[in-house]
Each structure stands twice: as structure tokens, then as C-alpha cells.
Amino acid sequence: MPIYSYVCKDCGEKFDLFIRIGGKDDELICKKCGSKNIQKSFSSFGVGSSSNKDGGSDSSCPTGTCSLS
């Protein structure tokens, strides 16, 4: 299920919800104040990277255990 970020336009609470595909936004309520006046917001996501045993990253070695020769 996708995760969507929302913000309550009444109390300002920001929260994430798992929404099944085809779910309706008009049935959602704010968990803090109970308002139905919520809006989808943009969310960010992180991308991890591998690092070698010396602490630096090595994009040619995804496991981080490749030799440095």
C-alpha cells in the first residue's frame, strides 16, 4: 500500500497514512482533532548509499567490501 502525507488545515497536524489503491480521500480524518479538512502534502524520501570499510562511499562497489586496488 502506498504511504501518503497529509496536513490538517484546521489544527496544522502533519501525518502519514497507508492508503489502499482506490481508497477515497474524502473518508479521511485528522487523528489529532477529528477534522475532515485535510489535504495531501508533498513528502520527501531518502536514498541510502553503501560505504566501504574506511567510511567513504564507493559507487563501483555496492557491498562495500571490494578491494581498493
pTM: 0.53
pLDDT of 1? 60
pLDDT of 52? 47
Beta-bridged to residue 5, according to DSSP, are: 16, 41
SS3 of the chain: CCEEEEEECCCCCEEEEECCCCCCHHHCCCCCCCCCCEEEECCCCCCCCCCCCCCCCCCCCCCCCCCCC
Average pLDDT over residues 7-11: 96
| pLDDT tens by residue, 17-67 | 877 777 666 678 898 999 999 998 876 655 555 554 555 554 566 666 766
Q: How does residue 3 score in pLDDT terms, banded at 50, 70 and 90? A: confident
Which fold does the domain 3-41 belong to in CATH? Rubrerythrin, domain 2 (2.20.28)
